Chains A and B, each alone.
Chain A
Amino acid sequence: MGRYVIRRLLQMIPVFFGTTLLIFLMVNVMGDPIAGLCGDRQCDPATAARLRSEFGLDKPVWQQYLTYMGNVFTGDFGTAFNGQKVTELMSTAFPITIRLTVVAIVFEVVIGITLGVVTGLRRGRPVDTTVLILTLVVIAIPTFVTGLLLQLLLGVKWGIIKPSVSADPTFDELLVPGLVLASVSLAYVTRLTRTSIAENARADYVRTAVAKGLPRRRVVVRHLLRNSLIPVVTFIGTDVGALMGGAIVTERIFNIHGVGYQLYQGILRQNSQTVVGFVTILVLVFLAANLIVDLLYAVLDPRIRYA
């Protein structure tokens, strides 16, 4: 187990550096990092040159990347060009987005898996067909449409929620935004669970469990569900990173000042330190979530051993 974790961690290193280098190149080579510094006007050449040398932008790109990574490992993510520390932005943004993501994951797990089990056990019945078509519809509606429509109906028309959340939102304020963020993944989780349950429902061990006279509930939860969860857990694990990065739309609609908001501002103002810094953390989250998923396999299926 310990050796497996170490091997996986070693494999992550090239991916981590590759991804951060890629995003670094995309931001610094394709964009112009000082473009946003002189307001909406173009910088005059002298100011531009001074800013370039001040931020080290006159050095070759690989050198800039090494300097940047060196700083990151000492906890210095640099300064956003407005003078605020990027780490300061992170310390306010991440707690909010983590709360939002937790709400979304809870929705995925509770609603998605429940619906998946219910439909998987009734394959081909009207409930199954209805839910299946519903999931297709939910997947088809882009997040920004779901978000705007729920904001319009619940927030503006019926006044059940506030159309935008407060500066430091609590969990209950994030319920609707969390549902919006989760919507597409929720439908995927339902479909995955359904397929997996339907496939495993015919397995020998389920027949044995039924023949032993175990109550149906126990057969479904302990035997069938546990064995069917592996693909679902894989999906949810990779989704954690996607949700945090994809929160950009949800956060914009409900005016949540989290990671998505900072990234949006950073990209719009071509604030390279902010963008690269936040994406670096997102990549780390993504890699860690994938590792945890792999380790969870052994918990769900004791036949899987890590040497």
Chain B
Amino acid sequence: MPDTTALKSTDAPAAAVDAPPVTDSGPAPGKPRSLWSDAWHDLRRNPLFLISMVLILLLVVMAIFPSLFTSASPRDADLAKHYLQHPNWGHFFAPDWLGYDGQGRSIYARLIYGARASIMVGVVVTIAVTVLGLIIGMIAGYFGGWIDTILSRVTDIFFGVPFIVGAMVILTSFEQRSVWVVILSLSFLGWTQIARVARGSVITIKQADYVVAAKALGASTTRILTRHILPNAIAPVIVVATIALGGYIAAEATLSFLGIGLAEPTVSWGIDVSAASAQLRNAPYVLIIPSVMVSITVLSFLMFGDAVRNALDPKMR
């Protein structure tokens, strides 16, 4: 294909405008940095980004190798230890460090093992929603006309369904509510925002000179969409997706709290909060500890998304 060398450009128009002429640590001094290396340059210096990165890495390791953090099992119930100990701050990271819950299970072990469900739901739903939303949004934005009308109305329709209510309806129809069922229900309703953002972004980009040129040179539609439009339209989508990730983790916890998301024997912070809320008066710490964990997890992803947005969207500075 003759058009590749002449037209291949990953620079978004926005980055080209404000790229500084002299760079101190860019990839090639003197050359304008691409949007991505510019963003990375910013991110490395952002304390919020670094803190959230460390927290997220820790949570991901916790989700994959929970046994690195505790030797206790989250499902070992010993009723003799029913609400046995209040948090025992002196005993760092021992199974009884944070006390025991109503069924005599180590709260600390459940805290560690609960990361897997949350991280999995957050990451997989975000990927599913991004892929689905990108496909629908790009097709609607690129082709326009009646295709756009139909796809936009379908997006409106899915957007109109109240999110938690819709997810609950889907979840109740499954007998076994595994992590994958929760992922399915959240992805089924969650793609609308990405589709709208992708559509808007594609509509502004499809008029760019490099797209017109690629078309004039006879590039196929698939090639234009994947090689020219996608790399330039994806920045706002990534921003929305990273911020939404935290929201999906919160949604999983909320559904599990309502008793309609994950179910035992899956270990989930939402289930633990739900179980503890019945004993609010007697053992508030059983409720507070997993609640704080959910909040910290969501906060890490939100901070991450916020930092990425500030780096990718020069207008916000």
Q: Which A residues fall within an 8 A CB radius of B?
A: 14-15, 18-19, 22-23, 26-27, 30-32, 136-137, 139-145, 148-149, 151-152, 156, 195, 241-242, 244-246, 248-249, 252-253, 263-264, 267-268, 270, 275, 279, 282-283, 286-287
Contact = CB atoms under 8 A, between A and B. Distances in A.
B44 interface: no
A139 B169 CA distance: 25
B205 interface: no
Nearest to A244: B162
Given A136-B299, A139-B302, A248 B164 contact: yes
Contact of B164 (A136, A141, A246, A268): A246
A148 B277 contact: yes
Nearest to B173: A30
Interface in B281-303: 281, 284, 287-288, 291, 294-296, 298-299, 302-303
B288 A246 contact: no
Nearest to B171: A267
B258 A264 contact: yes
Given A152-B280, A267-B165, 19 more contacts: A14-B157, A15-B153, A15-B157, A18-B160, A19-B161, A27-B169, A30-B170, A136-B299, A136-B302, A140-B298, A141-B291, A142-B295, A142-B298, A144-B253, A148-B273, A152-B287, A249-B254, A263-B165, A267-B172
Contacts of A32: 173
Interface of B: 153-154, 156-158, 160-166, 168-170, 172-173, 246, 250, 253-254, 257-260, 273, 277, 280-281, 284, 287-288, 291, 294-296, 298-299, 302-303, 306, 316
Contacts of B291: 141, 145, 148-149
Given A23-B169, A31-B172, A195-B316, A145 B162 contact: no
A242 B192 CA distance: 15
B281 A156 contact: yes
A148 B280 contact: yes
Contact of A142 (B254, B284, B288): B254
Closest 9 CB pairs of A and B: A245-B162, A140-B299, A18-B157, A30-B173, A19-B160, A145-B291, A31-B173, A140-B298, A142-B250
The listed residue with most B CB atoms (<10 A of its CB), out of A149, A241, A287, is A149
A268 B172 contact: yes
B258 A248 contact: yes
A14 B234 CA distance: 30
Contacts of B258: 248-249, 252, 264
A141 B165 contact: no
Contacts of A148: 273, 277, 280, 287, 291
A145 B273 contact: yes
Contact of B294 (A26, A142, A241, A279): A142
A244 B164 CA distance: 11
**Chain B binding surface, main DSSP class:** helix
A23 B166 contact: yes
A267 B261 CA distance: 13
Nearest to A18: B157
Contact of A18 (B153, B163, B294, B296): B153
Contacts of A286: 160
Given A145-B294, A149-B291, A140 B281 contact: no
B316 to A, nearest CB: 7
B257 A249 contact: yes
Contacts of A263: 165, 168
25 contacts: A14-B153, A19-B160, A30-B169, A30-B173, A31-B169, A136-B299, A136-B306, A139-B298, A140-B298, A142-B250, A142-B257, A142-B294, A151-B280, A152-B284, A156-B281, A245-B163, A246-B163, A246-B164, A248-B168, A249-B257, A264-B168, A267-B165, A279-B162, A283-B160, A286-B160
A144 B273 CA distance: 9
B170 A140 contact: no
Given A15-B157, A246-B162, A246-B164, A140 B169 contact: no
Contacts of B295: 137, 140-142, 145
Contacts of A139: 298, 302
A22 B165 contact: no
Contacts of B168: 248, 263-264, 267
Nearest to B303: A136
B157 A248 contact: no
Contacts of A23: 161, 166, 169
Nearest to A153: B284
Nearest to B150: A14
Contacts of B165: 245, 248, 263, 267, 275, 279, 282
Contacts of B257: 142, 144, 249
B302 A140 contact: yes
A18 B157 CA distance: 6
A30 B316 CA distance: 44
A173 B299 CA distance: 30
Contacts of A282: 162, 165
Contacts of A195: 316
Contacts of B259: 268
Contacts of B284: 152, 156
A132 to B, nearest CB: 9
Contacts of B306: 136
B79 to A, nearest CB: 25
Given A15-B160, A142-B253, A252-B258, A275 B169 contact: yes
